């Protein structure tokens, strides 16, 4: 899941436009060609986005941002390769890039085979070495770390890679079996894994990571990985300096503040690579001439224009400065869009805005203070000012697991205790505080009008109960989120709309998306990854949903509506409510004129 504002071993993401999402959505599977050979070829499509680029690896806690993930979707480092999610939330296999199949149920065994024509954008072949590294990055196989139950920090042992999606499920695999031709790997699971079909072993290029670790080749890195023992928390082995160097590069080496002079950082396995970036203005992605997969684009370039303001996005679309926009939906935005000649696409997003309390904060160590603060949150007022003008049928979101359109939502709401916060209760909050006047620092995105409005409404309401609300908002909120130097945060989650890997990511100690240091004191979230029975899985998810309200985790606010604006120059764009947004079918785009 991505911070919205997502490899498909999808991470959720936090983003400035919207934000977890349908954690419990299931997905069907389809196969088929993704090519559109009859479409016009060439040209550039320019897309307005809210957030700027911060990292070329969106699969780390600090890089888990919507724009980073969308760039990663185009360059193959996130959400594309062996499969992708379509607009019906089905898993689609890209058999032209490579095939994967379950060869056994007991034990669960899955084989991945690359197309021998696959190459990285620097011309180097894509091999099983790359998949072994991708598996190592996502499985936690070599970790021997014991984490602090409150902060998630390592107390002893070693944690090598830090995937935002966590390791639950993939941590049940043994070292991969590699084929003699170095094009296939086979994974065996010790326990069933509900989302096995969403795991994608492709990530960063092994030959680049090996180079940064001081090794001569990808084969040398694979040899190192094969020779190292599985991590043992009870008897941690000494840290391996070469693997640590490789992991440190993957964890932080792709975080950037300017277009990298080191071209190794932009090597891509996907249809595009990042060919330029002017921070605060635009990101340019150019076609990877070596790409052999099924998501072959018709256009030569895709340009991201960073435009945080929704009205400015509409103006840019009207003026022909951009071709596609995905602004925050509001009544004003829709009215302005409908006044243009652009095609308007609308629908729900598998995303929601939420308020999280930081369990690492001293002020919220007291459960009564948490409950008192949550009693002051004017959720209906926030909904009415932001969402109702766009969707009159919208309602307050009362689950951390399901969205209102999902079949299990109502039953969970009836048992999860969310009714405690159904209305603002200032007197109840005062009684819990017993005269105390706690200071609460709230982090949010000051460039996001919705978050500014949410903060203002919360500040005014909480003050009536005696809280002193400090504005800790920042345009750099996404980089501040993992640090925990705040008491509460306002942001959004947006998910792929398929699978359940988001649950342990958010609700386990040390989870890659557990920014608020929540400690559920059990492994229910991890159990969801190995529970195949649908009824039992729903029961576990209901337990988590109930625990979040009982523990004062925070409050979900509302599901976000979505809107795209597409000018007549571009064909092929379709609405998508997940974290890939309008980019989900980029290979189907074409332009009627290639003048740009």
Domains, the chain, ranges and CATH?
A: 350-560 (3.10.105.10)
Where the chain has pLDDT below 50, the residues are 3-36, 595-596
- pTM higher than the cut 0.85: no
Q: What is the pLDDT of residue 149?
A: 66
- E-strand ranges in 254-410 read 272-278, 282-287, 301-306, 324-325, 343-357
Nearest residue to 80 (alpha-carbon basis) of 65, 66, 91, 67: 91
Q: What is the pLDDT of residue 528?
A: 86
- Cis bond before residue 107 (omega within 30° of 0): yes
Q: What is the pLDDT of residue 272?
A: 98
Distance CA 35, CA 140 (A): 36
Q: What is the pLDDT of residue 120?
A: 98
Say if residue 405 is exposed, middle or buried (CB neighbours under 10 Å; 0-12, 13-18, 19+): exposed
DSSP-assigned letter for residue 340: S
């Amino acid at each position: 899941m991505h911070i919205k504002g997502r490899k498909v071993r999808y991470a959720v993401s936090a983003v400035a436009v919207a934000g977890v999402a349908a954690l419990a959505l299931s997905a069907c599977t389809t196969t088929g060609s993704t090519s559109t050979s009859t479409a016009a070829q060439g040209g550039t499509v320019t897309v307005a986005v809210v957030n700027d680029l911060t990292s070329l690896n969106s699969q780390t806690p600090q890089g888990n941002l919507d724009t980073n993930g969308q760039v990663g979707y185009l360059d193959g480092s996130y959400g594309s390769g062996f499969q992708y999610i379509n607009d019906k939330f089905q898993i689609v296999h890209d058999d032209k890039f490579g095939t994967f199949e379950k060869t056994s149920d007991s034990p669960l065994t899955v084989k991945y085979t690359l197309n021998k024509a696959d190459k990285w954008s620097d011309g180097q072949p894509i091999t099983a070495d790359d998949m072994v590294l991708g598996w190592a990055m996502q499985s936690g196989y070599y970790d021997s770390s014991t984490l602090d139950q409150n902060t998630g920090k390592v107390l002893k042992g070693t944690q090598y890679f830090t995937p935002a999606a966590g390791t639950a499920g993939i941590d049940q695999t043994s070292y991969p079996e590699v084929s003699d031709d170095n094009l296939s790997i086979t994974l065996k699971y010790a326990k069933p894994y509900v989302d096995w079909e969403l795991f994608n072993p492709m990530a960063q290029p092994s030959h680049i990571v090996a180079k940064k670790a001081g090794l001569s080749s990808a084969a040398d890195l694979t040899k190192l990985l094969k020779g190292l023992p599985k991590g043992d928390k009870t008897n941690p082995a000494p840290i391996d300096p070469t693997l640590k160097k490789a992991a440190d590069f993957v964890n932080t080496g792709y975080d950037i503040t300017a277009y990298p002079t080191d071209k190794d950082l932009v090597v891509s396995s996907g249809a595009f690579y990042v060919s330029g970036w002017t921070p605060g203005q635009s990101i340019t992605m150019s076609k990877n001439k070596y790409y052999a997969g099924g998501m072959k684009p018709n256009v030569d370039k895709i340009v991201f224009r960073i435009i945080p303001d929704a009205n400015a996005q509409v103006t840019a679309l009207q003026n022909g400065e951009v071709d596609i926009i995905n602004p925050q939906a509001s009544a004003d935005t829709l009215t302005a869009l409908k006044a243009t000649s652009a095609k308007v696409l609308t629908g729900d997003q598998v995303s929601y805005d939420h308020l999280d309390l930081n369990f690492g904060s001293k002020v919220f160590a007291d459960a009564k203070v948490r409950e008192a603060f949550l009693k002051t949150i004017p959720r209906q007022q926030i909904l009415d000012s932001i969402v109702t003008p766009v969707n009159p049928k919208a309602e307050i979101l009362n689950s951390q697991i399901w969205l209102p359109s999902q079949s299990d939502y109502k039953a969970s709401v009836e048992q999860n205790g969310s009714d405690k916060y159904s209305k603002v209760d200032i007197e109840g909050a005062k009684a819990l505080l017993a005269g105390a006047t706690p200071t609460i620092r709230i982090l949010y995105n000051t460039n996001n009008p919705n978050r500014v409005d949410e903060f203002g409404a919360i500040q005014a309401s909480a003050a009536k109960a005696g809280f002193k609300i400090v504005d800790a908002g920042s345009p750099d909120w996404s980089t501040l989120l993992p640090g925990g130097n705040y008491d509460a945060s306002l942001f959004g989650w947006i998910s792929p709309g398929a699978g359940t890997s988001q649950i342990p990511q958010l609700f386990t100690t040390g989870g890659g998306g557990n920014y608020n240091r929540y400690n559920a004191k059990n492994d229910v979230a991890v159990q969801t990854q190995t529970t195949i029975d649908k009824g039992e899985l729903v029961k576990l998810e209901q337990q988590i949903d109930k625990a979040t309200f009982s523990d004062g985790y925070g409050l979900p606010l509302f599901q976000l509506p979505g809107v795209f604006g597409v000018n007549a120059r571009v064909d092929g764009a379709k609405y998508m409510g997940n974290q890939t947004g309008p980019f989900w079918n980029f290979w189907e785009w074409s332009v009627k004129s290639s003048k740009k």
